[in-house]
């Protein structure tokens, strides 16, 4: 079953991109981070500009840390969201959009993200935007982890 691994506060989150598995590159105004989405751990952090490694025509950035030498396709603020919204075994991630927030804050409109399953009737709340702008959400290439990225946080779930 799916399990919430961790939520990270990341001010100025701009773009994200998976490698070919479950390692996530996060690009922010504060630098670069790598996350193992199966464990929820941050495995690399560098407080430096990533722009010199960004190729705007292809929407790619050179890999950092353990991904050095690779090329990561990114999405978010600078590129459209291309993350997978479904897995091969029926799991999906969906966004309502815009709906009133929870009581006491219902005058504000938010996007809510849910994990669903086509056959099991599963419908679980994952996160929402609100004060932070929704950047991207979706599954890793393996389908074993999922992320929701807003302009100020990163939510990581996995099923391993």
Collapsing DSSP to helix, strand or coil, 61 comes out as strand
Closest CA to 116 of 85, 141, 154: 85
Q: Is the pLDDT at 84 greater than 90, yes or no?
A: yes
- Split at pLDDT 50, 70, 90, the class of 103 is confident
- pTM given for the model: 0.93
pLDDT in the model for residue 40:
98
Domain ranges of the chain: 3-158
Q: Is the pLDDT at 105 greater than 90, yes or no?
A: no
Terminal Cα distance for the chain, rounded: 8
pLDDT single digits (tens) 138-160: 999 999 999 999 999 999 999 97
Give percent helix, percent strand, percent coil of the chain, each to the nearest 5: 5, 50, 45
pLDDT in the model for residue 66:
96
Query: Hey, what's the torsion of the CAs at 12, 66, 18, 156, to 10 degrees?
Result: -60
pLDDT single digits (tens) 11-52: 999 999 999 999 999 999 999 999 999 999 999 999 989 999
């Amino acid at each position: 079953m799916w399990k919430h691994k961790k939520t990270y506060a990341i001010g100025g989150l701009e773009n994200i991109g998976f490698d070919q598995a479950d390692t996530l590159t996060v690009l922010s105004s504060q630098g670069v981070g790598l996350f193992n989405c199966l464990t929820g751990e941050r495995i690399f952090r560098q407080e430096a500009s990533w722009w010199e490694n960004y190729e705007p025509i292809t929407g790619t950035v050179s890999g950092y840390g353990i991904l050095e030498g690779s090329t990561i396709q990114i999405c978010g603020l600078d590129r459209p969201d291309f993350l997978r919204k479904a897995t091969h075994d029926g799991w999906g991630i969906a966004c309502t959009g815009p709906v009133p927030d929870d009581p006491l804050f219902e005058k504000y409109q938010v996007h809510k993200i849910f994990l669903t399953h086509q056959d099991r009737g599963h419908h679980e709340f994952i996160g929402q935007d609100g004060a932070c702008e929704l950047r991207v959400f979706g599954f890793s290439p393996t389908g074993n982890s999922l992320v929701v990225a807003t302009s100020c946080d990163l939510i990581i779930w996995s099923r391993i």
